Amino acid sequence: MNPDFEQERRQRLFQKAVRKNRDETARVLETLRNREDYRPELDYFLNLAADTSATAAEKRSGRPALRLLCLQAPLELIHAAGFQPFKVFSGSLSTSTLATQDFPALICPLLRAVLGEMILNENDAPGLPWVLPTTCDWVVKFPEMLALTGHPSKPEFHWLELPHLKNRRDSRERWLGEIWRLKEFLEQISKRPIKRGALLESIEIYGHAAEILQRLKIARENGRLSSVWFMLILNAFFLDAVEKWTTRAEILLSALTAGRITGGRVFLAGSPIVFPNFKLPFLFEEAGLSIVADDLCSSERLFPGKTFITDTSVFGLISTLAGRYHQGCLCPVFADNDRRINNILGRRTNASFHGIIFHVLKGCHPYDLESFSLENGLKAHGLKFIRLETDYAPEDGQNLLTRLEAYHATLTDK
């Protein structure tokens, strides 16, 4: 084949993806802005979502962005080292098409989108290493996949070996070791030690953010904040300094007026939903369903609740953080994850929902598998259950909607 022709073809493909990505984001933002429940206090979050690059996050937060996949690295530690923790965005359908050529047909749409994002924004804040916990197989193979795309930045990866057992003492000790290593690593790249005071301050800051998250959850439960906005706000969490995010969310919370949930109250479980791929949240609304709570690592589980400190030494803080981020994590990659169902059942006390929607991203095997055991357990508690397996492509919208509507009809039956 003519190399020039191939070069040109790639160039055009790239341009097309850039254009489509811009349109995709703009379209979703436009839809959000035109909603009936839009209010000016949401502009801040909409503006954050308009640019989800690491460069933008760096500029807004004034800190170098440290890229993360997954959420087991304690954010407080990264923050105390002077970095902006930045979970890489992975919700764009158009960018994910850039990363299809070199991979298996069935690949986690999320990581495909991350790869696409990397290809699309080649010059987006290169430099700092990434922090990757060894969660699922896709994440473990991510550096390999990135290398296959021929990406020029060739970032370094700092691995956190995540013990897939939470309830065993030796696993916990190993994880604690990993967090100490992470601390050393962060000190190395920032060229300054992480002080006790800084760590305490970061814990305080994230503790405040956790309180706000709690209030956002309550606002969603009683219908003051719709789930689409809730998800947008949490998706925007890593795009600015945590203090600013917290302040803006607080302003929004105090501006929210009384609301009421009209449709069927449901709990959303399963694979994450990342901006701009809000296909499902919009479909839920169309089918008259209100998500009143969720256990997605992209929204309610974005960061763990308040850290309860009893030992304020560096050792004590690191141990507490390590435990909180490991034992407290409900990701399905854990072998002893049987108490995840309790999180759903426990949320029923406050959110009082009648059913569960379980979202499986095609190719996300840990969630896929766990959906079956959860289905049995939840049905035994009288909850309606529907499992939706989908990816970022819009063509199954009609099929999903049909199912959601019928599911909605079943919710009201005993």
Partner 1 sequence: MKRTLSFLTMPGMQTIRTGFQHFSFLILMYGGRFGIHLGSAVPCFACPYVPGCGGYCYLMGLQGYIGFGLRVLSWHAVWTALGWLAVFVILVAVFGKAWCGWVCPFGLIQDWLTALRKKLGVRERIISPSIRNCLTWLRYGLLVYLALVPPLVTAGILSDDFYLPFCNICPGKALLPLFAGETKYLALNLENTVTLAFSLVLLLITGIMLVGMFFKERFFCFFCPLLALIHLLKPLTALGLIKTPSSCVGCGTCSRACPMDIEKLEEDTSDIQGGECLNCLRCLEACPSSAALNLRFFRLKPVSSSGGRP
Partner 2 sequence: MTLKAGLDLGSTAIKAVLADDEQILWRGKSPTRPGQEAVGQSLIDSALVEIGAPENAIGGIAVTGYGKKLFSRPDGRVDEISANAAGLFRLSGGRARTIVNIGGQDLKVLFLNDQGRVADFRMNDKCAAGTGRFFELAARILDTPLEEFGVLSRLAEKDLGLNSTCVVFAESEIVSLLAAGTPKEEIIKALHTSIARRVAALLGRNSRGPVWLDGGPARNTGLLEAIEDELLTEVLVLEHPQYTVAYGALLALD
Contacting residues toward partner 1, per CB under 8 A? 166-167, 169, 196, 210-211, 214, 218, 304-306, 308, 310-316, 319-320, 323-324, 327-328, 330, 339-340, 342-343, 345-346, 349-350
- The smaller minimum CB distance to partner 2, of residues 170 and 413, is found at 413
- The smaller minimum CB distance to partner 2, of residues 166 and 384, is found at 384
Euclidean distance between CA atoms 401 and 56, whole angstroms: 35
Both structure tokens of 155 = 């970032």
Work out how close the CB of 279 gets to partner 2 at its nearest, in angstroms, rounded to a whole number: 13
- The smaller minimum CB distance to partner 2, of residues 59 and 403, is found at 403
Work out how close the CB of 406 gets to partner 2 at its nearest, in angstroms, rounded to a whole number: 3
Question: Pseudo-torsion of CA 265, 268, 269, 273, nearest 10°?
Answer: 180
H/E segment holding residue 266: strand 264-270
92 φψ region: left (φ > 0), alpha (ψ -120 to 50), beta (else):
beta
Work out how close the CB of 396 gets to partner 2 at its nearest, in angstroms, rounded to a whole number: 5
Euclidean distance between CA atoms 291 and 264, whole angstroms: 8
Which amino acid is located at 176 in the chain?
L
Both structure tokens of 14 = 């790239």
Euclidean distance between CA atoms 161 and 12, whole angstroms: 40
Both structure tokens of 4 = 């020039």
- The smaller minimum CB distance to partner 2, of residues 162 and 411, is found at 411
Asked if 252 contacts 230 with a C-beta cutoff of 8 angstroms, the reply is no
Interacting partner of 352 out of partner 1, partner 2, none (Cβ under 5 to 8 A depending on kind): none
Which amino acid is located at 171 in the chain?
S
Residue 45: closest CA among 24, 28, 70? 28
Euclidean distance between CA atoms 69 and 103, whole angstroms: 19
Interacting partner of 328 out of partner 1, partner 2, none (Cβ under 5 to 8 A depending on kind): partner 1
Interacting partner of 324 out of partner 1, partner 2, none (Cβ under 5 to 8 A depending on kind): partner 1
Work out how close the CB of 101 gets to partner 1 at its nearest, in angstroms, rounded to a whole number: 41
Work out how close the CB of 290 gets to partner 2 at its nearest, in angstroms, rounded to a whole number: 17
Asked if 112 contacts 119 with a C-beta cutoff of 8 angstroms, the reply is no
Euclidean distance between CA atoms 384 and 286, whole angstroms: 19
Interacting partner of 406 out of partner 2, partner 1, none (Cβ under 5 to 8 A depending on kind): partner 2
Interacting partner of 167 out of partner 1, partner 2, none (Cβ under 5 to 8 A depending on kind): partner 1
Interacting partner of 196 out of partner 1, partner 2, none (Cβ under 5 to 8 A depending on kind): partner 1
Work out how close the CB of 298 gets to partner 1 at its nearest, in angstroms, rounded to a whole number: 18
Asked if 54 contacts 125 with a C-beta cutoff of 8 angstroms, the reply is yes
Q: Which residues bind partner 2 (CB under 8 A)?
A: 384-385, 389-390, 395-396, 398-399, 402-403, 405-410, 413
* Strands across the sheet containing 157-160: 84-87, 65-68, 130-133, 157-160
- The smaller minimum CB distance to partner 1, of residues 346 and 394, is found at 346
- Helix locations, 222-271, DSSP H: 227-235, 242-255
- The smaller minimum CB distance to partner 2, of residues 71 and 411, is found at 411
Interacting partner of 339 out of partner 2, partner 1, none (Cβ under 5 to 8 A depending on kind): partner 1
Work out how close the CB of 362 gets to partner 2 at its nearest, in angstroms, rounded to a whole number: 8
Work out how close the CB of 270 gets to partner 2 at its nearest, in angstroms, rounded to a whole number: 14
- The smaller minimum CB distance to partner 2, of residues 110 and 411, is found at 411
Interacting partner of 135 out of partner 2, partner 1, none (Cβ under 5 to 8 A depending on kind): none
Euclidean distance between CA atoms 4 and 9, whole angstroms: 8
